[in-house]
Amino acid sequence: MSEEVVRYELRGHVALATIDRPEARNAISPEVAAGIEAALDRIEGDDEVWVGILTGTPPSFSAGADLKAIGTGRGAELATERGGFAGIVKRERTKPLIAAVDGFALAGGTEIVLACDLVVASRVSTFGLPEVKRGLIAAAGGLFRLPRKLPTNVAMEAVLTGDPIGAERAHELGFVNELCDQGVAVEAAFALAERIRVNAPVAVRESRAVVVESAGLDESGAWERTAAAAARAAATEDVKEGVLAFTEKRAPRWQGR
């Protein structure tokens, strides 16, 4: 992973990946796409990481695709084979990922946020899919993911006008989980991650998987998927620890297995 464009930090069981190209508004270059994919590899491959956070160096989260890279014939390199655009929008993951947004997340930047599980944003942040203003479409998941996060008419307005949505309105509509002041989005994301981290990691991952995968299932399939996840969680050592900690009136010491 290029340490210059995507920084990686570990705090306990929470990993932080930071897109670090503020001079280019954290636009997604081939190096950034590879860096995000590498960061996700580390998050997914490290048993000690239970939650991930993705952010960008302020004053922006990401402006989307790097037009300079596209102009020099490197547009195809903005996507990775496993992850798609920015190494993330098509990436299959098992661990919760929080987007920490402090500034604007536009075009592909919004699509990266939509690929995460939860969103923390400062009040100065904005989201949007302005591609139609340039004769393009939002082809990295925004056109079908935004209507899953917002009321259909609101999402349609955003897609057809290309106009941005402020963080406060996005929070009111349920797209943003938590609002915070400018400059503290990452710390607010760590606080949210800590609320997840105190829970049994296998149970968290299995619960996340059911939420993600049941969206495309009928009720029978959703029940079947839930039963399979419940069986896997029940077979872990952490179940015994959870019961013991409850009876002993103490915090559980999860092992993640």
Catalytic residues, by residue number, are 111, 131
Q: Contact 26/19 with Cβ under 8 angstroms?
A: yes
Q: Contact 116/54 with Cβ under 8 angstroms?
A: yes
Query: How far apart (Å, rounded) are the C-alpha atoms in residues 120 and 54?
Result: 10
In SS3 terms, 242-257 reads as HHHHHHCCCCCCCCCC
In angstroms, how far is CA 147 from the centroid of its own chain?
Answer: 17
Q: Contact 28/85 with Cβ under 8 angstroms?
A: yes
Tokens of 48: 């000690």
Residues whose CB falls within 8 Å of the CB of residue 219, separated by 6 or more in sequence, listed in order: none
